[in-house]
Amino acid sequence: MNDRQKELLKLLIEMYIKTVKPVGSKSLVKKLKCSSATIRNDMVHLETLGYLEKTHLSSGRIPSQAGYKYYVDNLMKPKEITGDDVLKLQTILSNKDLVVSDAILKCMEIISEITNYTSVVLGKESKDQTLKQVNIVPLSDQKVVAVVITNTGYVENKQTNIPTNINVSEVVKSCEIINKNLVGTPLDEINAKLEYEIKPIIAKKIKQYEEVMSFFQDAFNDFSVKQSDVFFSGKTNILKQPEYNEPDKIKGIISKLENIELVKKIETDDDGVNIYIGEENKFDKDVTIIKTSYKLNNEEGTIAIIGPKRMEYDKVVYLLQFLKSYLERE
């Protein structure tokens, strides 16, 4: 492939991304400064190499999966985003009042709005984390903050009111029993152990043990759900793409997005921002998934963007690189 053919492929892909229409030779004449016949010959060559496909609807060409792959590996450069969009991200990331997980979710909401694609955040599974400590901080006679700390250093605060028939001192005393018996327990096993192992111990020491146990079970349940859930932003954005204007395709992609176990397979440990086009992503052959892992203060997870193969790769790659570098900066 010569330089002109590489430039042709780059221009054609970027035009198709914007217009969703097959690209003909005439539309490239001025940009490539050569004849329509030369461009047609180059298109035939690129089609022979497997980078372009000819549709039945026109004489124009569209990119193939291999064409997109060559583009992202060799021709594309991340497109820097400036102005209000980046300012919004920076404002959220510099907000010290937000815990990391909330900041990431808010950033992915903004990225989903900017790109009009679907974003997903996968936190570390609760089964992979164990309890390091739980603290109860009384705020008043009926209000406390439960602070849960995992072995990975993740900290979650839950402020709540306790029933009027429970004394705060009983909650604190129960907390001491939990720390003595449950440190090192995987988060997804805690509620079962609370019910069958800790409850009998607390029942001997505290009169209102049922209410106290219910308080702790709710706190740990909320924490485990938050840690293991899949979080979407712009979940229906994918349906706005022209590729999904047929009922069967709409049903198919909705079904996959609702399949949490399938979505969890998007999780990655890869360090860089990686692009998985079509069949490469093992989620859906008609989409591209761009994803990366993040790690900050021992909190880990995956952030990903799901869109059509005709995705603005340069913009999405830049946004994920920006977010990842900001999160992991020294």
pLDDT for position 120: 92
**Domain limits for position 240:** 84-117+234-327
**% residues pLDDT > 70 (the chain):** 93
Per-residue pLDDT at 222 exceeds 70: no
pLDDT for position 15: 95
Residues 212, 275 share a domain: no
Tokens 């996959």 map to which residue? 256
Per-residue pLDDT at 13 exceeds 90: yes
pLDDT for position 83: 81
Residue pLDDT, tens place only, 133-157: 888 888 887 888 888 888 766 777 7
Please give the Cα distance from 263 to 267 (Å, whole number): 8
User: Among 29, 106, 85, which Cα is nearest to 316's?
Assistant: 85
pLDDT category at 165 given cuts 50, 70, 90 is confident
pLDDT category at 88 given cuts 50, 70, 90 is confident
pLDDT for position 163: 78
The answer to pTM > 0.85 is: no
| Total Cβ atoms within 10 A of residue 203 | 13
pLDDT for position 224: 58
Identify the CATH number of the domain in which residue 96 sits.
Answer: 3.30.450.40
Residues 192, 133 share a domain: yes
pLDDT category at 223 given cuts 50, 70, 90 is low
Residues 53, 69 share a domain: yes
Identify the CATH number of the domain in which residue 10 sits.
Answer: 1.10.10.10
pLDDT for position 148: 84
- As for how many domains the chain has, the answer is 3
Residues 242, 177 share a domain: no
Tokens of 272: 């860089």
pLDDT for position 131: 87
Residues 289, 162 share a domain: no
Per-residue pLDDT at 202 exceeds 80: yes
Residues 249, 103 share a domain: yes
Per-residue pLDDT at 178 exceeds 60: yes
**In-domain check, residue 124:** no
Bridge partner list, 299 = 296
Residue pLDDT, tens place only, 60-78: 899 999 999 999 999 998 8
Identify the CATH number of the domain in which residue 169 sits.
Answer: 3.30.390.60
Q: Compute CA distances 210 → 135, 166, 198, 214, 219, whole Å.
A: 19, 10, 11, 6, 14
**In-domain check, residue 289:** yes
Residues 302, 320 share a domain: yes
Residues 319, 277 share a domain: yes
